[in-house]
């Protein structure tokens, strides 16, 4: 099968949990060169995924004429600049979200994309999550979405990546802005955002289609609570999705009431959860996360875990959680692999991809910053129709 030759810049967290394993198994992609400024990580990843070349200098990767496409997964402070440089070197670019910290930097990527005519995909992978594709199909067929609620909550935001307080709306909620625009096929008309404390927020959005949506975003949940939940009220009924694994329909006599979606196989981890999620759906998800959380809690507090004597050995628990158990955040299928493979296929066919593009990255950024303005002023912020040109 024909495949696109890729380079990867930034072999950190998301690259190790998704892009490296996915590039090594995506049918239409071949990873030729991995790049990271951390030499130890670079060598480890090169060896683990049998990547032919490794370099600490991204410019040498960009000057390789055989490489047609680049995945940029450094951090948001440099992703826009690297994307522009890669576009100007003639590469197609899959860049992680958020495209940039400022809307101005996102607009520069939009301009470079137009100037070079290359494709840009922004890592809003939820557009490719199998459960969400099905939810969108049902919502459309049942008269469209009128009211949507989305919860995105986790504990690891507090574990720290060095972000200042109050920017979760830029780094995490950007995913949901993009998802809601995609689900409704509509632009946001207004945003309101209120917080109880930094990074614990409620947002209300109105759409040009007439739909309204609310987003609960919290960096104060615990890891036994599955991270995301989607609820859509359509013209004739409702659809819910529990953390990407279980879709339920309500009010439609002709539809399956429950559909289950296998999770995401992680090459390093035990894989049975994929089949558990497929056969038991949300019940398995809750049980897996509760088990891991209980073990971790018991080890940290030095108390027996449920049904166990004596307290678990903290080193064993750490090994289990970090190396063996299904990954807290990456066990469910949020669409990372199909997003990347679709991008590669479109490059091969020279067809515009369905991935979120540079303009979608800019739209998400404008919405994040509108939400911050709303939070700061207490006012509803109305979006212009043509901010992205």
Ligand X SMILES: NC(=O)c1ccc[n+]([C@@H]2O[C@H](COP(=O)([O-])OP(=O)(O)OC[C@H]3O[C@@H](n4cnc5c(N)ncnc54)[C@H](O)[C@@H]3O)[C@@H](O)[C@H]2O)c1
Residues 109, 219: contact at Cβ < 8 Å?
A: no
Binding region for ligand X (CB under 6 A) out of 7-15, 43-51, 113-121, 314-322: 7-15
CB of 211 to ligand X, least distance (A): 24
* 97-156 binders of ligand X (CB under 6 A): 97, 123, 125
CB of 162 to ligand X, least distance (A): 9
Give the count of residues interacting with ligand X (CB under 6 A): 23
Is 81 an interacting residue with respect to ligand X (CB under 6 A)?
no
Residue number, 160 or 307, with CB nearest to ligand X: 160
Is 168 an interacting residue with respect to ligand X (CB under 6 A)?
no
CB of 94 to ligand X, least distance (A): 10
Residue number, 312 or 357, with CB nearest to ligand X: 357
Residue number, 159 or 385, with CB nearest to ligand X: 159
Which residues are CB-neighbours of 369 under 8 A, at least 6 positions away?
A: 102, 103, 170
Is 332 an interacting residue with respect to ligand X (CB under 6 A)?
no
Q: Prior bond to 109 cis, omega within 30?
A: no
Is 89 an interacting residue with respect to ligand X (CB under 6 A)?
no
* 17-56 binders of ligand X (CB under 6 A): 35-38, 41
Binding region for ligand X (CB under 6 A) out of 75-83, 195-203, 251-259, 304-312: 75-83
Question: Which position's Cβ is nearest ligand X?
Answer: 12
Could you give the CA distance from residue 93 to residue 276 in angstroms, rounded to a whole number? Answer: 35
CB of 41 to ligand X, least distance (A): 6
Residue number, 75 or 197, with CB nearest to ligand X: 75
CB of 387 to ligand X, least distance (A): 22
Is 96 an interacting residue with respect to ligand X (CB under 6 A)?
yes
Listing DSSP states for 225-279 in one string gives S-SEEEEEEESS-EEEEETTTEEEEES-TTS-SEEE------TTS--HHHHHHHH
Q: Which residue of 3, 6, 7, 14 would you call a contact of ligand X, by CB under 6 A?
A: 14
Which helix (H) or strand (E) element contains residue 200? strand 200-207
What six digits make up the tokens of 226? 């599955």
Residue number, 13 or 310, with CB nearest to ligand X: 13
CB of 14 to ligand X, least distance (A): 4
CB of 263 to ligand X, least distance (A): 14
Residue 312, Ramachandran bin (φ over 0: left; ψ between -120 and 50: alpha; else beta): beta
Could you give the CA distance from residue 70 to residue 54 in angstroms, rounded to a whole number? Answer: 14
Q: Which residue of 28, 45, 76, 266 would you call a contact of ligand X, by CB under 6 A?
A: 76
Could you give the CA distance from residue 380 to residue 212 in angstroms, rounded to a whole number? Answer: 14
CB of 174 to ligand X, least distance (A): 9
Residue number, 95 or 317, with CB nearest to ligand X: 95
Residue 84, Ramachandran bin (φ over 0: left; ψ between -120 and 50: alpha; else beta): alpha
Longest dimension (CA), the chain: 65
Which residues are CB-neighbours of 293 under 8 A, at least 6 positions away?
A: 222, 223, 224
For the chain, count helices (H), then strands (E).
Answer: 14, 15
What six digits make up the tokens of 220? 């104060």
Residue number, 14 or 84, with CB nearest to ligand X: 14
Which residues are CB-neighbours of 235 under 8 A, at least 6 positions away?
A: 142, 143, 144, 146
CB of 137 to ligand X, least distance (A): 23
Is 228 an interacting residue with respect to ligand X (CB under 6 A)?
no
CB of 316 to ligand X, least distance (A): 26
Q: Prior bond to 37 cis, omega within 30?
A: no
Which residues contribute to the site for ligand X (CB under 6 A)? 9-15, 35-38, 41, 58, 73-76, 79, 96-97, 123, 125, 171
């Amino acid at each position: 099968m024909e495949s696109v030759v890729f380079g990867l810049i930034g072999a950190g967290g998301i690259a190790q949990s998704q892009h490296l394993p996915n590039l090594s198994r995506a049918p239409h992609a071949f990873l030729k060169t991995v790049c990271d400024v951390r030499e130890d990580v670079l060598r480890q990843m090169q060896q683990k995924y049998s990547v032919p070349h490794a370099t600490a200098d991204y410019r040498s990767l960009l000057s390789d004429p055989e490489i047609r496409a680049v995945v940029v997964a450094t951090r948001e402070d440099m992703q826009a600049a690297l994307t522009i440089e890669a576009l100007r070197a003639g590469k197609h670019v899959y860049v992680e979200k958020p495209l940039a910290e400022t809307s101005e930097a996102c607009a520069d990527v939009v301009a470079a994309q137009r100037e070079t005519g290359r494709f840009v995909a922004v890592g809003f992978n939820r557009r490719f999550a199998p459960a969400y594709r099905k939810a969108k199909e049902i919502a459309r067929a049942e008269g469209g979405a009128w009211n949507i609620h989305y919860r995105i909550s986790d504990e690891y935001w507090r574990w720290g990546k060095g972000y200042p307080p109050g920017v979760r709306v830029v780094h995490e909620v950007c995913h949901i802005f993009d998802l809601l625009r995609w689900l409704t096929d509509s632009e946001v008309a207004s945003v309101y955002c209120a917080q109880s404390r930094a990074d614990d927020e409620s947002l209300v959005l109105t759409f040009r289609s007439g739909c309204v949506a609310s987003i609960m975003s919290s960096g104060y949940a615990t890891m036994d609570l599955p991270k995301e939940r989607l609820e859509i009220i359509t013209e004739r009924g409702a659809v819910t999705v529990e953390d990407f694994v279980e879709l339920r329909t309500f009010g439609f006599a002709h539809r399956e009431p429950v559909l289950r979606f296998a999770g995401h196989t992680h090459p390093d981890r035990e894989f049975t959860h994929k089949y558990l999620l497929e056969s038991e759906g949300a019940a398995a998800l809750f049980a897996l996360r509760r088990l891991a959380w209980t073990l971790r809690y018991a080890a940290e507090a030095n108390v027996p875990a449920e049904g166990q004597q004596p307290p678990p050995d903290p080193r064993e628990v750490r090994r289990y959680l970090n190396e063996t158990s299904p990954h807290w955040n990456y066990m469910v299928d949020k669409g990372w692999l199909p997003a990347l493979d679709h991008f590669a296929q479109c490059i091969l066919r020279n067809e515009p991809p369905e991935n979120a593009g540079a303009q979608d990255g800019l739209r998400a950024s404008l919405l994040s910053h509108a939400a911050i303005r709303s939070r700061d002023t207490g006012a509803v912020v109305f979006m212009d129709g043509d901010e992205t040109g």
